[in-house]
Amino acid sequence: MGTLQWSEEYDVLVAGSGGGGVTGAYTAAREGLEVLLVEATGKFGGTTAYSGGGGVWFPCNPVLVRAGPPGSFDDTIEDALTYYRAVVGDRTPRDLQETFVRGGAPLIEYLEKDPNIKFVPLPWPDYYGKAPKARLDGQRHIAAKPLKVAAAPELRDAIRGPLDTDRLGAETPPDYYLGGRALIARFLKAIEQYPSASLRRDTALVELVMSDGRVTGAIVETAGQRRAIRTRLGVLLAAGGFEANEELRRAYGVPGVARDTMGGPGSRGLALQAGIAAGAATDLLDQAWWSPGMTHPDGRSAFALWFTGGIFVNQHGNRFVNESRAYDRAGREIIAQLQDGSMSLPYWMIYDDKEGEVPPVKAANVSIVETERYVAAGLWHTADTLEELAAKIGVPGDRLAATVARFNGFAASGVDEDFGRGDEAFDRAFSAGASPLVPIDSPPYHAAQFGLSDLGTKGGLRTDTAARVLDTSGNPIPGLYAAGNTMAAPSGLAYPGGGNPIGTSMLFSHLAALDMRDRRHAAAAL
């Protein structure tokens, strides 16, 4: 670029418009800062907008406290901390863990003061049901209240997703913004109140500008045109993960492939790379939020949960996991077995004909399409006997029959002696408490192909509790902040409960904006 010519100047530049980016830009604007948010793609919302639930794990927040009869709320922040620490352990800094667990409730209190931003309880059991102080009734989880499209019709095609629109070409829903799209729509409406906030799509942050060891701005690129944006206070990287970038996945050793991720197309790691070039330290770069994925006719596996029957078997015809376990835990067990060589991809869901030939998967995240398309793609198979089915999917027939017979015994006794399926609240969360042990005994038998999917990578730039990015000596890089999947996740190697990814992104973006506000006040006071 030769001698740097600043094109524009703001207090704050935010990269990314997922749950974190919009929270950061909103907080900055509400706190009186001049803010520009740039979004690399043509749509706002990132992977956040793909989330059907859009839940956030914020223990003891006011939405939960007032949800039940007065006086009935009995969770405490100390209990939530005990749980979070038990499942995350020492893999991430204690103070970062504590900031996350304590910070959600005040954030919701702050946001609810704005009539545009509303939440509702969304009960969702914690993912390690046997850990101390796990909340089994789901009372740590809320989601954005659905918003009528009529309240913000101009956003209908400006917000990414839902997944069926992007993956299957379905029409964008005409009536309501739901889940992650509702969260994004509500924030975009709220940001409109502040003339000091500007939003720009198709504009990617590609490089950070440094002067005397501090970040003083960034280069952004729109349609090949580079512009230098000067920042008086700082740059917040809330630009998601790099799950859609196959080259970076390989470089950092992330299991699975970009084809099978659920992350948005903008999750390419550009901002992460810019942070590393600015001297940032990184952690957890081989980690993601994992899930089993049902393979669709486009050849991509999609996050799938809520199974009302069926078992998974590997290439040996054996079960290998509690199929109903919280998806990240199931994904981690699959990865461990891929790495020790005891299983390979793909694996299969085996089920009977009680619900017909469509697999008993009630939350496929990408809708299941016509059966013929899966059959034509070689993904679904049917046979009158388990031995014939086994031959079609290349697993030993006697093993498959023995595996199903053993599982049917567990279904009869109600106890899965091999993998404990049904032992934890999450395993039964979608079946109103009913056992997920359903016998496979009504021919014809079916098999559906599965792979390893993810909801995004979670390794990234190391930060302190104010979301300030740390350099390789552990000191903050002045003027640089990161949140969400661009930061090294406080949850480390665990997914403690639904709503951790979006919650982390929102909270640390909010804290980044507050820190920048405080720095401006401190400078003004000098």
Ligand X SMILES: Cc1cc2nc3c(=O)[nH]c(=O)nc-3n(C[C@H](O)[C@H](O)[C@H](O)COP(=O)(O)OP(=O)(O)OC[C@H]3O[C@@H](n4cnc5c(N)ncnc54)[C@H](O)[C@@H]3O)c2cc1C
Site residues (CB under 6 A) for ligand X?
15-21, 38-41, 46-48, 50-56, 204-205, 238-240, 262, 264, 266-267, 270-271, 289, 303, 365, 455-456, 484-485, 498-503, 505
Task: Identify whether the C-beta of residue 34 lies closer than 8 Å to the C-beta of residue 11.
Answer: yes
* Closer CB to ligand X, 40 or 512, in the complex: 40
Q: Token pair for residue 35? A: 């803010």
* Closer CB to ligand X, 142 or 447, in the complex: 142
Residue identified by tokens 């102080």 is: 133
* Closer CB to ligand X, 41 or 324, in the complex: 41
Residue identified by tokens 């996050």 is: 303
Cβ 150 to ligand X, closest distance in Å? 25
Helix spans in 351-451 (H): 371-376, 386-393, 397-413
* Closer CB to ligand X, 268 or 468, in the complex: 268
Rounded alpha-carbon distances, angstroms, from residue 449 to 92, 194, 375, 378, 393: 35, 49, 10, 9, 9
Helix (H, G, I), strand (E, B) or coil at 229: strand
Cβ 509 to ligand X, closest distance in Å? 7
* Closer CB to ligand X, 62 or 265, in the complex: 265
Cβ 328 to ligand X, closest distance in Å? 10
Distance CA 50, CA 263 (A): 8
* Closer CB to ligand X, 54 or 436, in the complex: 54
Which DSSP letter does residue 317 get? S
* Closer CB to ligand X, 146 or 317, in the complex: 146
Cβ 236 to ligand X, closest distance in Å? 11
Distance CA 349, CA 80 (A): 35
Cβ 365 to ligand X, closest distance in Å? 4
Cβ 205 to ligand X, closest distance in Å? 4
- By C-alpha distance, which of 200, 193, 153 is closest to 177? 153
Cβ 271 to ligand X, closest distance in Å? 4
* Closer CB to ligand X, 235 or 447, in the complex: 235
* Closer CB to ligand X, 301 or 403, in the complex: 301
Give the DSSP H/E element, type plus range, for residue 363. strand 361-363
* Closer CB to ligand X, 185 or 313, in the complex: 185
* Closer CB to ligand X, 33 or 56, in the complex: 56
* Closer CB to ligand X, 38 or 395, in the complex: 38
Helix (H, G, I), strand (E, B) or coil at 93: coil
Cβ 55 to ligand X, closest distance in Å? 4
Phi-psi region of 134 (alpha: psi -120 to 50; beta: other; left: phi over 0): beta
Q: Token pair for residue 278? A: 């600015």
* Closer CB to ligand X, 449 or 491, in the complex: 491
Residue identified by tokens 């956040």 is: 48
Which DSSP letter does residue 339 get? H
Rounded alpha-carbon distances, angstroms, from residue 379 to 276, 347, 374: 41, 11, 5
Cβ 484 to ligand X, closest distance in Å? 2
Residues with Cβ within 8 Å of 117's Cβ and at least 6 positions away in sequence, in order, are 111, 144, 186, 187, 190
Q: Token pair for residue 447? A: 């098999």
Task: Identify whether the C-beta of residue 181 lies closer than 8 Å to the C-beta of residue 45.
Answer: yes
Residue identified by tokens 């196959």 is: 246
Cβ 459 to ligand X, closest distance in Å? 12
Task: Identify whether the C-beta of residue 456 lies closer than 8 Å to the C-beta of residue 267.
Answer: yes
Cβ 23 to ligand X, closest distance in Å? 8
Helix (H, G, I), strand (E, B) or coil at 159: strand
Cis peptide before 346 (omega within 30 of 0): yes
- By C-alpha distance, which of 45, 242, 56 is closest to 162? 45
Cβ 335 to ligand X, closest distance in Å? 18
Cβ 61 to ligand X, closest distance in Å? 14
- 388 CB neighbour count, 10 Å cutoff: 15
Cis peptide before 162 (omega within 30 of 0): yes
Task: Tell how strand 476-482 and strand 225-237 pair up.
Answer: parallel
- By C-alpha distance, which of 10, 21, 15 is closest to 509? 21
